[in-house]
Structure 1
Amino acid sequence: MNTNKHFSQIKKQIIKLGMVTDSSHHYRTSLLSLLREAVPFDAACCTHVDPQTLLSTGAVTEDHVESIHPYLFQNEYGEEDVNSYEQLVHSRILVATLYEATEQQPERSARYRKVLNPAGFGDELRAVLILGEACWGYLTLYRKAEQSKFLPEEYDWIASLIPLIATRIRAFSLELPERDETWLDNHYGSGIAVLSDQLTLLSSNPAADRWLDKLRSLEKIDAHILPRPIRAVSTQALNSPSESTGTPKVCIRMNEGPYLVIRASRLHASDGQFQCAISFEPARPADMLPIIAEAYRLTEREQQLLHGVIRGLSTKELASALHISAYTVQDHLKSIFNKSGVSSRRELIWYLHSRYNIIEA
């Protein structure tokens, strides 16, 4: 079959998949199966990321990758190497391959020398799922060392799919609670866990155990596997302890109830070793505002106004704080009302509370 015709047929199936699949895990699993028909590969991983921090919020990882996943995280956050995901996002390079980045000398890459080659892999293709200004996920494909490297026509075709895939990943990441959905019971409150520097669970409270179970269920992974969001924030915290980098965190839309925020901090243990403290808590207004802004495509000014509304500021106070007229405040409020489907400030506050658990300060 003509290669271009085959690419076109698979692309149509991927478009259809995005229209009929309402489960993120099923979408990504089926997506990898379709991609394999057009661009053969031996292993793959498709990851959701928090667009604010670019850290994993969950992944679909095939068996051959699962065994090297911890080392890939270590390489990403602990070593300088070619084609880091953050590097690709910031440079707006949508698709890159290991062989291309190393000018056909993969041994120049620490990831290749320490992780991929020992596992029998040769070339690696990485795609960053960017839509507009935000990155929503990563797609990574691997070929065994005895297979051919990825070809330009293959990664060009993968690049052409990125708007389609990123649109669906974004939709899953921003999926909102139904208006009548009840929040998780209070026993799913704040959790605390402590990990060793090898990311072994040392201690946890009951709430943390429940959140860990929820995260494993979300990713459909076994109890002995550390959820990818935990691995991502922990690895970054252990490798980037400087306060200037901020506290590693992710904000995740759970299958039910509120968005969950996970944070990690490096600890100095009494024996001189490092540990990692993990906190789990329902998202607060400051965590939710970027999500709400992205979901309803609010402008920067509208985000500032919404933050003031959540704080309970009056129209006059909003005008003073933002150095605009009261009439301009009203115009921006009307735009927010239209985008969120409400008709008044009172209804907006109730909407934010009922769907996002946000209450006026």
Structure 2
Amino acid sequence: MGLRGARGVAARSAIEGMRELSGEGLTAPEVFRRADELLRPVLEFDAVCWHTADPATGLVNSVQSEDLSLTAYEHAVRLEVWEDDLATFPKIRHSGAQAETLSRATKGRPQESVRFREQIAPAGFGDELRAVFDATGGMWGCAAFMRAPDRGPYLGHQRELAGAAARHLGNALRACHIPAGAPDQEDAGPAVLMLDRRNRLRAMSGPAEDLLDRLADPTPTSLSIPTSVAMAAEHARRAAHGLAAPRTPVRVRTRDDRWYLLHGSALRGDAAADEVTVVAAPASPAEVMPLYLAAYGLTAREQEVALLLVRGSDTRDVARLLAMTPYTVQDHLKSVFTKTGVGSRQELIARIMLGGGRC
């Protein structure tokens, strides 16, 4: 990062601390709290909002902040989903960068951002730095760091530092999803939630009340539902209005280590008025296996090999299906065994089928 002196020493120390997070067996809230301790002195922010995300879609599915009250969080969700703003999490990710500041994205005119006008400035902040936490398997989380106006805009070396830290945070959040054991009890089955246009609960069925508690955000918000449910609902509304929206469900894990798929669907009819239903269904082993393989840090090719083995293919079948030699398959298999900590195909199958995790 080209830093010298005490500032450079502090930055390198922070990055080294971030690098070690993935090996400490932390949960996601613990990762964020530790990252806060490491980054606050060097990024010089006054508030931060942390998010985990569905690695496949990049949609945030939880929120955590020890600085903000989140009393207008429902507005933040709508801005994130509906406004084509500057330096959004998807735009940062699609640019190939891992961090961006609002002052830089607006060329020093942050008032051009609707997010700045309606949220950041009214909350008393002068600049925002956003980072996306990508690692093997997708985007595992993201964060927005705010600072007071008297600090001035974020500097270039701080944006670079945030980008370097983001890579390690992605690995740490990915490692949170390594299976730790099978759940003690069976899932109760799908839950159905009906929401009005402001995402207030109108009705629910099945084990919805219990599930809402298990999906609750680490930090309470002004929403009456978890972030993951609100995101599924808002994107269903976008699709109903003919706007671009992910066509896949939002994947989210509960506090008791179970994966659910959230399917949002807008109601039709003159009286519907942007009402939606969100069906939360337990994910099947086939739907979560790719997540577990990514959590171990397997490359895309290694994941392909592992999935075929788990599904019953032998070495020759894998070689034929993936157009590689049996020797190459064996090399990939050795790497898979090393990363997952197993010594045989049978152990690999048992490990991946366990489910569970630590986030």
TM-score relative to the length of structure 2: 0.81
Q: Conserved in 1, the CA contact under 8 Å of 2:302 and 2:333?
A: no
Q: Distance in 2 between matches of 1:10 and 1:296?
A: 24
SS at the partner of 1:212? helix
2:186 match: 185
Q: Distance in 2 between matches of 1:129 and 1:2?
A: 27
2:238 match: 239
1:161 match: 165
RMSD: 3.5
- Equivalent residues in 2 for 1:82-93, closer than 5 Å: 82-93=86-97
Structure 2 residue runs of 5 or longer lacking an equivalent are none
Indicate the larger mover: 119-128 or 262-271. Answer: 262-271
Q: Distance in 2 between matches of 1:316 and 1:243?
A: 46
SS at the partner of 1:114? helix
Q: Which amino acid aligns with 1:64?
A: L
Pair 1:24-2:28 in alignment? yes
SS at the partner of 1:6? helix
Deviation at 1:323, TM superposition (A): 7.7
Q: Conserved in 1, the CA contact under 8 Å of 2:64 and 2:218?
A: yes
1:176 to 152, 166, 179: 179
Q: Distance in 2 between matches of 1:234 and 1:16?
A: 36
| CA spacing shift, 1:328–1:39, aligned 2, 3 Å | closer
Q: Distance in 2 between matches of 1:12 and 1:304?
A: 32
Deviation at 1:53, TM superposition (A): 0.4
Deviation at 1:100, TM superposition (A): 0.9
- Equivalent residues in 2 for 1:225-264, closer than 5 Å: 225-241=224-240, 242=242, 245-264=245-264
2:201 match: 201
Deviation at 1:140, TM superposition (A): 0.8
Deviation at 1:196, TM superposition (A): 1.1
1:283 match: 283
| CA spacing shift, 1:163–1:207, aligned 2, 3 Å | same
Q: Conserved in 2, the CA contact under 8 Å of 1:234 and 1:264?
A: yes
2:344 match: 343
- Equivalent residues in 2 for 1:78-227, closer than 5 Å: 78-131=82-135, 134-172=138-176, 174-178=177-181, 181-187=182-188, 189-216=189-216, 219=218, 221=220, 225-227=224-226
Deviation at 1:163, TM superposition (A): 2.5
Q: Distance in 2 between matches of 1:17 and 1:353?
A: 26
Deviation at 1:303, TM superposition (A): 4.6
| CA spacing shift, 1:224–1:234, aligned 2, 3 Å | closer
Deviation at 1:248, TM superposition (A): 4.8
- How many residue pairs were aligned? 349
Q: Conserved in 2, the CA contact under 8 Å of 1:219 and 1:227?
A: no
Q: Indicate the structure whose relative CO is greater, using CA pairs within 8 Å and at least 6 residues apart.
A: 2
Q: Deviations over 1:199-249 (max 9, x none)?
A: 111111241211110112x62537964322122222222223349744352
Q: Deviations over 1:284-327 (max 9, x none)?
A: 2442242133134555566556555666678898788x386996
Q: Which amino acid aligns with 1:271?
A: A
Q: Conserved in 1, the CA contact under 8 Å of 2:315 and 2:326?
A: no
| CA spacing shift, 1:4–1:265, aligned 2, 3 Å | same
Q: Conserved in 2, the CA contact under 8 Å of 1:121 and 1:145?
A: yes
Structure 1 residue runs of 5 or longer lacking an equivalent are 357-361
| CA spacing shift, 1:46–1:185, aligned 2, 3 Å | same
Deviation at 1:10, TM superposition (A): 4.0
Deviation at 1:7, TM superposition (A): 2.9
Q: Distance in 1 between matches of 2:122 and 2:99?
A: 24
SS at the partner of 2:61? strand
Q: Deviations over 1:258-295 (max 9, x none)?
A: 32222222222551401121121221244224213313
Q: Distance in 1 between matches of 2:350 and 2:10?
A: 50
Deviation at 1:335, TM superposition (A): 5.3
Q: Distance in 2 between matches of 1:103 and 1:325?
A: 49
Answer 1 or 2: which has greater strand percent: 1
Q: Distance in 1 between matches of 2:299 and 2:19?
A: 29
Deviation at 1:66, TM superposition (A): 1.3
Q: Which amino acid aligns with 1:294?
A: A
| CA spacing shift, 1:25–1:330, aligned 2, 3 Å | closer
Q: Distance in 1 between matches of 2:332 and 2:7?
A: 52
Q: Distance in 2 between matches of 1:99 and 1:80?
A: 17
Identical counterparts, % of pairs: 22
SS at the partner of 1:268? coil
Indicate the larger mover: 305-314 or 69-78. Answer: 305-314
| CA spacing shift, 1:243–1:255, aligned 2, 3 Å | same
1:359 match: none
Indicate the larger mover: 140-149 or 47-56. Answer: 140-149
| CA spacing shift, 1:273–1:33, aligned 2, 3 Å | same
Q: Conserved in 2, the CA contact under 8 Å of 1:177 and 1:257?
A: no
SS at the partner of 1:32? helix
Q: Conserved in 1, the CA contact under 8 Å of 2:136 and 2:295?
A: no
1:33 to 34, 37, 53: 37
Q: Distance in 2 between matches of 1:349 and 1:165?
A: 28
